[in-house]
Amino acid sequence: MKRVAFKMKLKPGFKAEYIKRHNEIWPEIAELIKRSGISDYSIFLDEETNILFGVQKVSGEVSSQGLGSETIQQKWWDYMSDIMEVNTDNSPVSIPLEEVFYLA
């Protein structure tokens, strides 16, 4: 199992809304993520920069950012597009991060 980390950007003033939407995550999205072999998924916010930092364990072929061919994932991206920086297909602008240290 590998760990994957990435960063995204929240638009200013949307912290509470971002938290609310994730506290009410659609069951279909949670199931897709789990079914795809993704676990131990956390997202952190740096309030000074509005950078979201995601980290997850992946046992399948793709991380959560690679699920864009799934219709429910596309709908989730559309739902989140008003509060995040997104690409033309409404997927979040997501930048992979290189692991430079790990202590188990």
Active site residues: 22
| Interacting residues of 87 by C-beta distance below 8 A, sequence separation 6+ | 93
Distance between CA 92 and CA 73 in Å, rounded? 11
CB 54 within 8 A of CB 33: no
Give kind and range of the element (H or E) at residue 57: strand 51-58
